Homo-oligomer: A and B are copies of this chain.
Amino acid sequence: MAGQVQRQTGVALWRQIADRIRQAISAGAYDETGMVPPETVLALQFGVNRHTVRSAIAALAQEGIVRAVQGRGTLIERKERLNFPITKRTRFTAGIGEQAREMRGLLLSYSEEKADAEVARGLKIRPGEPVIRMETVRKADGSPVSCATAWFPAGRFGGMPDAYKRTESITKAFAELGLPDYVRATTEITAVHADEADTAALELSPGAILLITKAVNTDLEGVPVQYAISRFAADRVQFTIEN
């Protein structure tokens, strides 16, 4: 974990240090002991006062990642970073099935609306045609992993919100609606700072990073069936592309 923290950047030192420690934990840097190094050691490493390190650790404790025990040290409670393979058969639930015990997709809201230019391009329909929009949040073992906004052609998949609410899975909902299989056509990936809504929904600290995917799924004939913009907590996930 080389490299010093930066001052006067608008990001407090304690937050930078919290981010770095969180990353080191998820990279397995402290697996040998299962503990974060002592505060005095970290303060020396980062070139800051011990109190500043304490602020960082307090933030991580608040997130449930570590637990400080007086006299012993700071224990690591949780270190997951979920991996999402992106392939022709990209599935949210199945993709991380072995990495978490319980995967759930929750429907926050939905509505029927007219496709704007972006959605129309994704679904290969004309702007103004009716689409179903769903806002969802997806959780692994109860911890929120991503928010998604998904659009479906209204004519073919009008029953999607109801089916999704019942099955908590896009794949199962598609199956119920007569589409047993579908494939990932394109995926775009960018990264931005989280805004307020996503910070709340994903239980992030402000200034946190989001990985954004814009994906088009099609049926086996290549007809688009879903356009989705998903927002992932960058410190909890990574994507893998296998060619």
Query: What is the interface size of chain A, counting residues whose CB is below 8 A from a CB of the partner?
Result: 52
- Closest residue of chain B to A90 (Cβ to Cβ) is B243
Are A86 and B234 in contact, CB atoms less than 8 angstroms apart? no
Main secondary structure of the interface of A (DSSP, over half): mixed
Q: Is A15 an interface residue (CB 8 A)?
A: yes
Q: Is A183 an interface residue (CB 8 A)?
A: yes
- Closest residue of chain B to A183 (Cβ to Cβ) is B243
Q: Is A19 an interface residue (CB 8 A)?
A: yes
Q: Is A211 an interface residue (CB 8 A)?
A: yes
Given A4-B196, A196-B4, A10 and B188 contact (CB-CB distance below 8 Å):
no
Given B16, B192, B196, B199, which contacts A209 in the complex, CB threshold below 8 Å?
A: B192
Contacts of A238 in B (CB 8 A): 188-190
Contacts of A69 in B (CB 8 A): none
Given A3-B197, A10-B59, A15-B10, A191 and B207 contact (CB-CB distance below 8 Å):
no
Q: Name the distance in Å between A89's Cβ and chain B's nearest Cβ.
A: 9
Are B19 and A14 in contact, CB atoms less than 8 angstroms apart? no
Given B3, B20, B196, B205, which contacts A10 in the complex, CB threshold below 8 Å?
A: B205
Contacts of A199 in B (CB 8 A): 6
Given A6-B199, A16-B207, A206-B11, A243 and B193 contact (CB-CB distance below 8 Å):
no
Contacts of A10 in B (CB 8 A): 11-12, 14-15, 18, 59, 205-207
Q: 10 nearest interchain CB pairs?
A: A10-B15, A9-B206, A11-B207, A10-B12, A3-B196, A191-B234, A191-B191, A19-B193, A187-B241, A189-B239
Question: What would 25 A/B residue contacts be, using CB atoms closer than 8 Å?
Answer: A3-B195, A6-B199, A6-B206, A6-B207, A9-B205, A10-B11, A10-B12, A10-B14, A10-B59, A10-B205, A11-B193, A11-B207, A20-B195, A23-B193, A23-B195, A87-B243, A184-B243, A188-B238, A188-B240, A189-B211, A189-B240, A190-B238, A190-B239, A191-B211, A241-B241
Q: Which residues of A contact B (CB under 8 A)?
A: 3-6, 8-12, 14-16, 18-20, 23, 59, 81, 86-88, 90, 183-193, 195-197, 199, 205-207, 209-211, 234-235, 237-243
